[in-house]
Amino acid sequence: MWALLATAALLLGGGTQSAGAVSLNITGPEQVVFDWDTMHCFPSDGPDGATRAFRDSLGRVQLTLNGANTRMIGPDLDNLTHDCTVVLQSRYDPLPSNYDDWLFLGGAYTHDGQEVFRLIHTEYHGREHEGFCMGQFVVSCDFNTITFARSTDGGASYTHVPAPAHLVAALPYRYVPSEGRVGYFAPSNIVEKDGFYYSMVLAALSYKEQESGVCLMRTRDLADPRSWRAWDGTGFNARFIDPYRESPEPYNRHVCEPIDREHLGASGAPNRSLTYNTYLGKYVTMGTSVRYDVAQGRDVRGFYFSLSDDLIHWTELQLIMETPLYMCGDPDPAAYPVLLDPDAPDRNLTITDRQNYLFFMRHRYSMCQPTGHRDLVRVPIEFTP
């Protein structure tokens, strides 16, 4: 059912890149998974973040379209049908202290396919609530946190405990209008390791005590949103707090220490996908970044990947494919690369092998401005020693 795009831009822009002794090759043309023109149910329907997938209790694969929190469902990743049902509705709560404004489904984990735990990328849009934004630029009034929701009906609907008890991670500072688009963003998928569940979240900008970069957090209890602890440079000792209800001092005990800024960088978003690769025997993360290429004498924008044995130390980011991101004048940009294996042996599709698919969003722009048109596409990809 996949429709092939007319262009072979990825084949031209992709190639073989190495991480140590590993190469990553794009092996086929771009395929459309969700075509906004023909498949959307309402304007905001479609991808607007890294897609996540799991197998439910009926053995079906569910793929998240988190623009409006709908799903694609089918027997496998190759045969998916779009379901227009919104499984998590944003609350648009006007109070920043409730962390319950715009909600986007993030990392998922399920043991049985019936009860599904989700990390939620939560945006507070001060510009949409009277008296909560005073900046010239509306994005300066955005404040991001990570919250929690759960499904008990196999992903057909998600709910959370009354706000703000669903809070997972927030900066230890209260919202201040017009201080920038700050906070914790975009939780990766959740992987299990040594009795803990891990997720990578993004501190996109440095803000007071919190430095920019990728934060790694973990928990033993997915049902308890307050049980997550973040890496602080020596261990998982940083406890996220609710600054409206708890004393934040000392502040530096309630922020994360970004992992391996030397290799993952302090900017970009290399946390979009987190999997364990059985072919390599290593963890793989990937995302968008801009890296200076000495041979070409220029910055290269695109999708990059990195490898790790322990989730703390990573290899230098290596290019998967060069692609426009969000620069005015470029062709339609791409974002949110995610590695998924149709034959993954685990229910949460967090295990990959040599041959996989790279899923990502293709965003249509008009006159340098984003439109509501967002497609989900994929390309076949292969690791080679």
| β-pairing verdict for 269-277 and 351-352 | parallel
Q: What is the phi/psi pair of residue 3, to 5°? A: -95, 135
Nearest alpha-carbon partner for 76 in 58, 62, 65, 87: 62
Centre a 10 Å sphere on the Cβ of residue 142 and count the other Cβ atoms it contains.
21
Find the helix or strand (DSSP H, E) in which 204 lies: none
Between 65-74, 211-220, 263-272, 306-315, the lowest mean confidence (pLDDT) is in 263-272
Condensed to tens digits (0 to 9), the pLDDT of residues 205-253 reads 999 999 999 999 999 999 999 999 999 999 999 999 999 999 999 999 9
Nearest alpha-carbon partner for 74 in 86, 85, 83: 83
Condensed to tens digits (0 to 9), the pLDDT of residues 23-59 reads 888 999 999 999 999 999 999 999 999 999 999 999 9
Nearest alpha-carbon partner for 31 in 385, 350, 338, 380: 380
pLDDT at 18: 44
CA distance readout (Å), 69 to 7, 121, 170, 274: 29, 11, 22, 21
Contact 14, 314 (CB under 8 A): no
Q: Please tell me the distance from the alpha carbon of residue 168 to that of residue 270, in angstroms, as a whole number.
A: 21
Question: Tokens at residue 362, please?
Answer: 């293709």
Condensed to tens digits (0 to 9), the pLDDT of residues 301-354 reads 999 999 999 999 999 999 999 998 876 767 788 999 999 999 999 999 999 999
Nearest alpha-carbon partner for 349 in 56, 100, 5, 84: 56
Contact 159, 148 (CB under 8 A): no
Beta bridge partners of 108: 118
Q: How confident is the model at residue 5 (pLDDT cuts 50, 70, 90)?
A: very low
Condensed to tens digits (0 to 9), the pLDDT of residues 125-184 reads 998 998 888 765 667 899 999 999 999 999 999 999 999 999 999 999 999 988 888 999
Contact 170, 242 (CB under 8 A): yes
Q: How confident is the model at residue 1 (pLDDT cuts 50, 70, 90)?
A: very low
- Give CA angle at 175 (174, 176), nearest 5°: 115
pTM of the full structure:
0.92
Q: Please tell me the distance from the alpha carbon of residue 166 to that of residue 119, in angstroms, as a whole number.
A: 10
What is the overall mean pLDDT for the chain? 91
Q: Give the domain ranges of the chain.
A: 1-52+268-385, 87-259
